[in-house]
Amino acid sequence: EVQLVQSEAEVKKPGESLRISCKTSGYRFSSYWISWVRQMPGKGLEWMGRIDPSDSDTNYSPSFQGHVTISADKSFSTAYLQWSSLKASDTAMYYCARQYTGYDDYWGQGTLVTVSS
């Protein structure tokens, strides 16, 4: 059974760093891209970017390029989304998803990130 299990909710202060995770199981991790999607409170879905775990090739949405870093560790079948300096505007639910030939067929449960002083 394909599963994507995300790390628990986080509460951080502005300026702090953060890395959230997406642990996969039930399929060959290196064979599928992993996407990250943001959903701000009460808002729609926004595609942030994706990573090919086989070689760590990444694509970012222009809206998120330079603001976050997507990485993956094949040893742990886990993908990561990282911030070096959080802002209040980063408060949102973040989802990872397995991407199969252009569509996201399995999704994680989401990680709620709250940034507040």
Partner 1 sequence: QSVLTQPPSVSGAPGQRVTISCTGSSSNIGAGYDVQWYQQLPGTAPKLLIYVNNNRPSGVPDRFSGSKSATSASLAITGLQAEDEADYYCQSYDSSLSGYVFGTGTKVTVL
Contact residues for partner 1 (CB under 8 A)?
Answer: 35, 37, 44-47, 49-50, 59-62, 95, 97, 102-105, 107-110
Closest CA to 33 of 10, 13, 15, 57: 57
Please, what is the minimum distance in Å from the beta carbon of residue 55 to partner 1?
A: 18
| Integer Cα distance of 72 and 74 in angstroms | 6
Residue closer to partner 1 by CB (options 80, 95) is 95
Radius of gyration of the chain (CA): 13
Residue closer to partner 1 by CB (options 54, 61) is 61
Closest CA to 81 of 54, 90, 15, 101: 90
Please, what is the minimum distance in Å from the beta carbon of residue 45 to partner 1?
A: 4
Please, what is the minimum distance in Å from the beta carbon of residue 57 to partner 1?
A: 13
Residue closer to partner 1 by CB (options 30, 109) is 109
Quote the tokens at residue 66: 């330079």
